[in-house]
Amino acid sequence: MSKHNKTYQPVQLLTIEASEDIPSARFVSYSGELCGVETRAFGVSEIDFSEGDVASVITLGTAVVETSEAILQGADVTSDADGKAKTAGALHPVNGRAIDGCSSASFIRIKFVP
């Protein structure tokens, strides 16, 4: 299980049935799965959930998300194939903006953007 020591401030958490096992700090889709590559997220998982659980997902405010690559502070982020954050390209859906930066795969705080 991955760990982080970052603080965050969720403003809104909504529940969704997990349609697969979901690790904490990952982008979750509207269908209750980990987001796929460059997919619009429903939110970010706060803790680990098992398939069939009613998962509480952060949908507004700030959240901690695991990254798959280096990300610059202030960059727009989208999801990779495992629901981790990666830098969003010009045509990719933006799931949040990086409050922190990282020089390799790590954990960052993001602010959700409309």
Using one digit for the tens of pLDDT, what is the confidence trace for 64-96? 999 999 999 999 999 999 999 999 999 999 999
* Confidence at 98, pLDDT banded by 50, 70, 90: very high
pLDDT computed for residue 51 by the predictor: 98
With a cut of 80, say whether residue 1 has pLDDT above it. Answer: no
pTM of this prediction? 0.94
Question: C-alpha distances in angstroms, 104 versus 11, 33, 86, 97, 98?
Answer: 28, 25, 11, 17, 14
CA dist 65 and 53 (Å) reads 20
Span 17-52, pLDDT tens digits: 999 999 999 999 999 999 999 999 999 999 999 999
| Burial of 39 per CB tally in 10 Å (0-12, 13-18, 19+) | buried
Structure tokens at 55: 């998962």
